[in-house]
Amino acid sequence: MPSASANYRTLLRTSGAAAFFLPAAVGRLGIAMTGVGIVWLVHARTGSYAAAGLVTGGFAVADAVAGPQIGRLVDRFGQARVLPFALGAHAGAVALLLAGAVPDIVAGVLVGATLPQLGALSAARWSALLYGERAVALPTAFALEALANGVSYLAGPALVSVLGAAGRPSAGVLVAAVLVVGGGLALTAQRRTTPPLTSHAERRHAGRALLRSAFLRQVALGLTLGVFFGAMQVSVTAYAVGRGTPDAAAPLYFAANCTNVVGGWAYGAWRHGGSPRRHQAAAAAGLALASLPLTILDAPLAIGATLALTGLAVPVLLILTSVLTESSVPRAVLTQAFTWGNSASAAGIAVAAAVAGRVVDAGGAHGGFGVVAGAAVAMTVLALGGLRDSSAAEDERP
């Protein structure tokens, strides 16, 4: 089997691939910083994790609701025509949040509603670029996307936490916006790899695929992944601050997301063979087993080691969710399908941020880690349920 490095190098040498992947990766780093940045900023203003969770929840709900609508516009009009408007609106919303010109919850909602779905746009470009005989390379492409996601969530929250601990919580939100807008504009400039547009009749007919059980299962898994991420953001920050060492949040995020990168890289090399559904169920079960100790552990080293274990499973779940989503819907609604997955994750973050914030205020960080573990168990149940579906046609492109 070729090495992972060779696989990824070959993929990025595909004409036009690196030119769209790298800007999207830069923008994704900003996206990874935004939610945590809002937590730090609002907590600094109010002194309440419940308030910070509420604003972050509003941000995520708006992202969840607006994302598929933006995706539908992209499928209809193309990335180059829609993305610049979304980026301009996002920059304005972030300016309102930083200036405090409107209530934080209103600004948070506006930031979420205008956040561009750069990951979905990049995934759609991979699908278009590798269509047909080259589709066998799609799992490697999605592994590369997961690596970009892992690096983003390795560096992004850690950077925001460092800025927050240094007394500059607003800087995290500002840097995030610069990366999102800059990366998005650079992606817009790469018109050669923009997915081709389809007719209205094709989109209307293809839209029925969004109601199929194979796709809806992946949306549900995205939702529970969002709960996992949202509760983890609040809980890790609360754990570090509660011990009187807010600067400890950065290395804890690093521990989880460093292994996230390793796990995604390894799966990109080993992915050939076996059922994607079985891999998904195994990864979800592993995540659940790794998450449960967080509810009782207290020592920083033990918490960090456990977070590192959870990071191994997360990228595998992200890769397989993309693979099974791409195989379950027609190309005419592919951007919408990816954005629905992202939106489900955002909705999960919204629920978790609000719930975990209140749980942490009431019972400390370990209560928040209980929400994390519960989400991992729910993912396992969903993935195991997918194994009972005997229809192989659900996992094939219509």
Measured CA to CA in angstroms, residue 99 lies from 35, 41, 112, 173, 337 at distances of 17, 12, 17, 12, 35
- Euclidean distance between CA atoms 329 and 75, whole angstroms: 13
Per-residue pLDDT of the chain in tens (398 residues, 90 and over written 9): 445 566 788 888 888 999 999 999 999 999 989 988 998 999 989 888 888 888 988 888 888 889 899 988 998 888 999 999 999 999 999 999 999 999 999 999 999 999 998 999 999 999 889 877 677 788 888 888 888 877 787 688 888 888 888 888 899 999 999 999 999 999 999 999 998 887 676 767 776 778 888 889 999 999 999 899 888 888 888 888 888 878 778 788 778 777 877 888 888 777 556 778 888 999 999 999 999 999 998 888 899 999 999 988 988 898 889 888 888 888 888 888 999 988 888 778 777 877 888 888 887 888 889 999 999 999 999 998 887 764 444 444 44
Measured CA to CA in angstroms, residue 47 lies from 44, 361, 367 at distances of 6, 11, 19
Residue 6 is assigned to a structural domain of this protein: no
The predicted structure's pLDDT at residue 393: 42
Residue 319 is assigned to a structural domain of this protein: yes
DSSP state of 207: G
The predicted structure's pLDDT at residue 123: 92
The predicted structure's pLDDT at residue 392: 46
The predicted structure's pLDDT at residue 6: 61
C-beta separation of 219 from 322 below 8 A: no
Number of domains comprising the chain: 1
- Euclidean distance between CA atoms 8 and 163, whole angstroms: 33
Residue 5 is assigned to a structural domain of this protein: no
- Spell out the SS3 assignment of 325-371: HHCCCCHHHHHHHHHHHHHHHHHHHHHHHHHHHHHHHHHCHHHHHHH
Query: Cα 214 to the chain's mean position, in Å?
Result: 20
- Euclidean distance between CA atoms 17 and 266, whole angstroms: 21
Residue 280 is assigned to a structural domain of this protein: yes
Residue 161 is assigned to a structural domain of this protein: yes
| Token pair in block for residue 24 | 């999207």
Length of the chain (residues):
398
Residue 78 is assigned to a structural domain of this protein: yes
Task: Tell me the residue type at 395.
Answer: D
| Listed residue (194, 220, 130) closest to 335, CA to CA | 194
Residue 10 is assigned to a structural domain of this protein: no
| Token pair in block for residue 197 | 């547009």
The three-class DSSP label of residue 203 is helix
The predicted structure's pLDDT at residue 396: 45
**Domain of 63, in residue numbers:** 16-395
The predicted structure's pLDDT at residue 382: 92
The predicted model scores a pTM of: 0.80
The predicted structure's pLDDT at residue 4: 57
Q: Is 72 exposed, middle or buried (0-12, 13-18, 19+ CB in 10 A)?
A: middle
Residue 1 is assigned to a structural domain of this protein: no
Torsion of CA 63, 398, 142, 286, to 10 degrees: 80
Give the CATH number of the domain where residue 86 resides: 1.20.1250.20
The predicted structure's pLDDT at residue 394: 44
